[in-house]
Amino acid sequence: MARISPDGRKVALVVGPPPIQANSNSDIWVYDLQTENARQLTFSPRLDDGPVWTSDSKQIYFRSFEGGDGNHSGVYSVPAEGGTPTTVARSDDFQYALPWSISPDDRALALVSATTQTDIDLAILDLRGHESAFRVLLKGNPGSNEPAIAPNGQWIAYEELKGGPGEINIRPYPEVTRQRYPVGSGAHPTFSRDGSELFFFDGQGLAAASVAYQPSLRIGTTQQLFRGQYWYGVVGPGGGLGRAWDVDRKSERFLMIQMPGAATTAGGKPTPPIRLNVVLNWNEELKRRVSTH
């Protein structure tokens, strides 16, 4: 999982095994795109994931099972430059809540609240005041996933799980029950910087649909952007367990994790696979070679 900071200078990375189990050991690192240096930001012996940047690129919200029994997580925050994480909210009713996007005013976190891989609700964590509070935003039936709040703060895109290919929908925010606008089949919705496009994974690569908001919401025809051997999802190219790629909202580039062996040479041909030779008993072989010369 990779998330670019709003100023386009850094990338928050989840480093470790996929979060299939809460006792997976992963941490959050920050990679500086200018200096090309990476540093570890969290050090929990349990799972840390779901990094979400604040709009000023100075703070990161994330999920951690730190201090729990492996079955109860909390939402934490940590300065992007490093420091001690602080607890934002914990709840037995939202024990697996995973931060996914933040409102433009930094006052609310949209989260994935899952009890199983199919029983998934969308939730909101109110960050105002001294006591942050969770509430269900959209009850999944069978499941809703990956909420992305639009840059104008008035709409939210998400994936509706249907037992097969997911469906991208857009609803008004925060009154999500008033309307639903289908976009098309896919997963991992995320908005462009100005909200005029919605990018998503269509099952083979990245696609986009134009979005207009006045005088009413209008969604354009889906257009393919590009294909390639990329790690589209947290567990691989099939897009499973959430979005692994991201959009640079400052320059609208795409950050993609390339599959091993997918790189090409200058002539456009695939690079040969890396060959690793392991030599056993090399000392005896050295003696034989030296004795013959």
The pTM for the full model equals: 0.85
Kindly state the percentage of the chain with pLDDT values over 90: 60
Alpha-carbon torsion (182, 18, 1, 109), positive or negative: positive
pLDDT for 275 equals 44
pLDDT digits (tens, 9 = 90+) for 152-180: 999 999 999 876 678 999 999 999 988 99
Specify the CATH number for the domain of residue 273.
2.120.10.30
Q: How many CB atoms lie within 10 A of CB 159?
A: 30
Token pair for 229: 């051997």
Q: What mean pLDDT value characterizes the chain?
A: 85
Nearest alpha carbon to residue 112 among 233, 242, 12? 242
Domain count for the chain, please give it.
Answer: 1
pLDDT digits (tens, 9 = 90+) for 85-133: 999 998 888 888 999 999 999 999 999 988 776 778 999 999 986 566 8
What mean pLDDT comes out for the span 194-206?
Answer: 95
pLDDT for 123 equals 94
Nearest alpha carbon to residue 211 among 222, 202, 220, 224? 220
pLDDT greater at residue 64 or residue 46: 64
* Whether pLDDT at 3 is above 80: yes
Q: What range defines the domain where residue 224 resides?
A: 2-291
* Whether pLDDT at 266 is above 90: no
pLDDT for 131 equals 63
Between the alpha carbon of residue 280 and those of residues 92, 276, 277, 288, 293, the distances in Å are: 54, 13, 10, 14, 22
pLDDT for 289 equals 55
Rounded Cα gap, residues 59 and 257, in angstroms: 24
Q: Identify the three-state secondary structure at position 26.
A: coil
Nearest alpha carbon to residue 102 among 44, 161, 169, 57? 57
Rounded Cα gap, residues 263 and 259, in angstroms: 8
122 Cβ contact partners less than 8 Å away, ≥ 6 residues apart: 110, 111, 112, 113, 136, 137, 138, 140, 144, 145, 147, 156, 158, 176
4 Cβ contact partners less than 8 Å away, ≥ 6 residues apart: 10, 11, 53, 246, 247, 248, 249, 255
What mean pLDDT comes out for the span 284-289?
Answer: 57
* Whether pLDDT at 274 is above 50: no
- In this prediction, residue 267 has a pLDDT band, given cuts at 50, 70 and 90, of very low
Kindly state the percentage of the chain with pLDDT values over 70: 81
pLDDT for 235 equals 83
DSSP state of 269: P
Checking DSSP bridges between strand 155-161 and strand 143-149, what pairing results, if any? Answer: antiparallel
Rounded Cα gap, residues 232 and 258, in angstroms: 9
pLDDT for 60 equals 98
Stated length of the chain? 293
pLDDT-wise least confident of 44-48, 141-145, 149-153, 256-260: 141-145
3-state DSSP percent of the chain in helix, strand and coil, to 5: 5, 45, 50
